[in-house]
Structure 1
């Protein structure tokens, strides 16, 4: 069970995500319904640590066995999602993750993957100098 719930006031979401850097590029993801990019990861499930959730999500989304280097920060954000107009209160754990061997070459260009639930994800390495030009959540 995902640690996410809705009420009449909006949605609470507990998320975990990976900061994966390679050759001055950051791995980003975008789904088919959203105009913005975000970092790879997903929702934490009940009785799962943020680290366990992140490794599971990276296996599901990218098909890789990743290694977490260290925790970076915990971010609390409040936003209204562009597509659904749903109001969010989100807590997200950010971790620095080592790019598994060969992943930077395999994903050097835009790469599409499909999640187990059928959602299409587009992964793209973005040079760090171009990040400020992108529409990114959270900002």
Structure 2
């Protein structure tokens, strides 16, 4: 069971995301119907720790077995999406997998054609719509210590 709670038109969401960077490209994804990109990941399950959750999500969505390197950011993100107000707690992990191939073409993951994935050059992040927005600059220079970020 995912750790997400709906109350009327408001959602509390506990999310993990993975930062995979290779050859100066970062792996991003988006819903087929959306215009914005985000880091791949998903909801943590009840009674699951966040590091295990991000590894599970990478396996389920992409078929990738990853290693968790370190926790980069903990976020408290407040936003509106599809006419619903979200309060999202996010754990963003730097991940590694030496077997990944960076390709220029978009591709679908293991769950079908709902999500599109693409390796995006770090140098063009400022030209795309990427949420949360702090990632546009922060992905270019990863922090040495975990940062706590509140996004309102």
TM-score greater than 0.5 by the shorter chain: yes
Cα distance in 2 for residues equivalent to 1:43 and 1:119:
19
Kindly state the Cα deviation for residue 100 of structure 1 after the two structures are TM-superposed: 3.7
Q: What's 2:66 paired with? A: 66
> Quick one: which of 121, 125, 132 aligns to 2:126?
132
In structure 2, distance between residues paired with 1:58 and 1:9: 29
Superposed displacement of residue 46, structure 1: 0.5
In the alignment, what sits opposite 2:106?
110
Instruction: Please list the CA deviations of residues 81-124 of structure 1 after superposition, one character each: whole Å capped at 9, or x if unmatched.
Output: 1xx211100010000001341x224x442111242xx5621110
What pairs with 1:1-139 in structure 2 (closer than 5 Å)?
Answer: 1-81=1-81, 84-101=82-99, 103-105=100-102, 107-115=103-111, 120-139=114-133
* Equivalent residues, number: 133
In 2, Cα distance between equivalents of 1:8 and 1:68: 35
User: What is the rounded CA distance, in whole Å, between the counterparts of 2:101 and 2:83 in structure 1?
Assistant: 34
Contact 1:4 1:12 in 2 (8 A): yes
Partner of residue 142, structure 2: none
Is the CA contact (8 Å cut-off) linking 2:36 and 2:129 kept in structure 1? Answer: yes
Root-mean-square deviation over aligned CA pairs = 1.4
- CA–CA separation in structure 1 for the residues paired with 2:75 and 2:36: 18
Change (3 A) 1:14 1:80: same
- Paired residues of 2:16 and 2:54 also in contact (CA < 8 A): yes
Deviation of residue 132 (structure 1)?
A: 1.2
The residue matched to 2:101 in structure 1 has which SS?
helix
